[in-house]
Amino acid sequence: MEEYRDRLPMSEATPVVTLREGGTPLIFSERLSERTGAEVWLKYEGTNPTGSFKDRGMSLAISKAVEEGARAVICASTGNTSASAAAYAAKAALTCGVIVPRGKTASGKLAQALVHGATVLQVDGSFDAALRICRSLHERYPVELVNSVNPYRIEGQKTGAFEVVDFLGRAPDVHVMPVGNAGNITAYWQGYQEEVAAGRIRRGPVMRGYQAAGAAPIVRGEVVAEPSTIATAIRIGHPASWQPALAAARDSGGSIRSVTDRQILQAYRRLAREGVFVEMASAASIAGLLDLSDAGELAKGARVVCVLTGHGLKEPDWAISGASQPPIIRDDTAVAAQMLGIEP
Ligand code: F0G
């Protein structure tokens, strides 16, 4: 936040609440580049303090809440927003309340919200119901709402686009990312447009957003009452930033499409096999990239940035269920060598 202070709505008086978010790596993927014929870069947001991109926006939203004298913050979440809000609220000594969909929040994310001292409620319903309650709480009670309907969240998250341009020295040709509540695609597009306005790039990338097929309201053009996908982070039927996301796709010459859970799971495994551990929702980026490539819609040599939104350790169950139980051995080197397939 400090690095881009002059491009954020912060004054001298703003107390910056930071856990050193941002500055995440852009990793070159040899294998995905070879597979697609494009030049593929992975923006790995899992290295943020709470393991997801939410920290960029949360730093600013909590800083502004403190500046404006708030005592308590609330949010609805599929998991990551609550983990981030809980951590930054703890840092700022604010009270934090979160509402998550019952039984559909990854264990690691729930652990984060709880350990940082947030009060966690589970609603019998989806993220959309949780957000409805939080909006109404914000209207009727003196609590700050830190979902991405809070403009400071979007402002903070746009720094991801600044980092991409700073690192590459130009805009990518194509930008691929998952879409849930649609705040992040809105934020990246805003960031790229600000880079154009500042004369640092000539034009922004083509924006390609991906929803999960069972939770694809923007693609279908209608609210999904009961969204369903293994990518619980983007299990959302009525995105708050629906219109700005559509505008980003349209104005950039891009699209918002969907990928199936099967495609997402395959992309998740593929990424892990090249050393990058992400959560299921993040793998939607790579599922989308491969879909574009297979449809012949990715130009040879195009420079592509795929945002990997969250760390795989948040939902370890997926990694463990897909593997066999590691065998137990006694303290014996020869046995270990044999079991590991190491020849003399
Ligand atoms: N990837 C991950 C890992 C997420 O947690 C989210 C959203 C998205 C992608 C989609 O981003 O909503 O800006 O379009 N998670 C929110 C949450 C909804 O509550 O943590 P978006």
| DSSP calls for 213-241 | TTB-HHHHTS--SS---S-GGG--SS-TT
Tell me how crowded residue 30 is: count the other CB atoms within 10 A of its CB: 9
Instruction: Evaluate if residue 321 carries a pLDDT over 90.
Output: no
Which residues neighbour 331 within 8 Å (Cβ) at sequence distance 6 or greater?
none
The reported pLDDT for the residue numbered 77 is 98
Task: Give the per-residue pLDDT at 324.
Answer: 86
Res. 98: pLDDT tops 90: yes
**DSSP strand E in the chain: where?**
26-28, 39-44, 72-76, 95-101, 119-123, 144-145, 174-178, 206-212, 255-259, 303-308
Whether the Cβ atoms of residue 119 and residue 97 lie closer than 8 Å to each other = yes
- Report residue 117: phi and psi, to 5°: 90, 15
Query: For residues 133 and 142, what is the distance between their CA atoms, to the nearest angstrom?
Result: 14
| pLDDT classification of 311: cutoffs 50, 70, 90 | very high
Ligand 1 probe mutation, 208, 309, 315, most atoms within 8 A of CB:
309
pLDDT tens track for 219-266:
999 999 999 999 999 999 999 999 999 999 999 999 999 999 999 999
The pLDDT of residue 322 is: 81
Using CB distances shorter than 6 Å, the residues near ligand 1 are 52, 54, 77-81, 148, 178-184, 233-234, 279, 281-282, 309-310
Instruction: Give the per-residue pLDDT at 59.
Output: 98
Q: Is residue 1 scored above 80 in pLDDT?
A: no
Mean pLDDT on 288-300:
98
Residue 156 has what pLDDT? 98
Average pLDDT over residues 30-36: 98
Question: Residue 45 CA: which ligand 1 atom is closest?
Answer: 3
pLDDT bucket at 127, cuts 50 / 70 / 90: very high
Residues 6 or more apart whose CB falls under 8 angstroms from that of 332 comprise none
User: Closest Cα partner for 305 from 176, 211, 203, 216?
Assistant: 176
Beta bridge partners of 215: 212
Cβ-proximal residues to 47 (8 Å cutoff; 6+ apart), any chain: 24, 25, 311
Is residue 249 within 8 Å of 243, Cβ to Cβ? no
Instruction: List Cα–Cα distances, 128 to 46, 76, 172, 225, 257, in angstroms.
Output: 25, 8, 33, 9, 20
* pLDDT confidence of residue 323: 84
Single-letter amino acid code for the residue at 48: N
Among 42, 58, 80, name the best residue to mutate to test ligand 1's pocket (greatest count of ligand atoms within 8 A of Cβ): 80
Q: What percentage of the chain carries pLDDT values higher than 70?
A: 100
Task: Count CA within 13 A, CB hemisphere, residue 216.
Answer: 17
Mean predicted confidence (pLDDT) in 60-79 = 97
Residues 129-165 pLDDT 10s: 999 999 999 999 999 999 999 999 999 999 999 999 9
Q: How far is the CA of 308 from the centre of ligand 1 (A)?
A: 11
DSSP SS3 for 209 = strand
Average pLDDT taken over every residue of the chain:
97
pLDDT computed for residue 2 by the predictor: 80
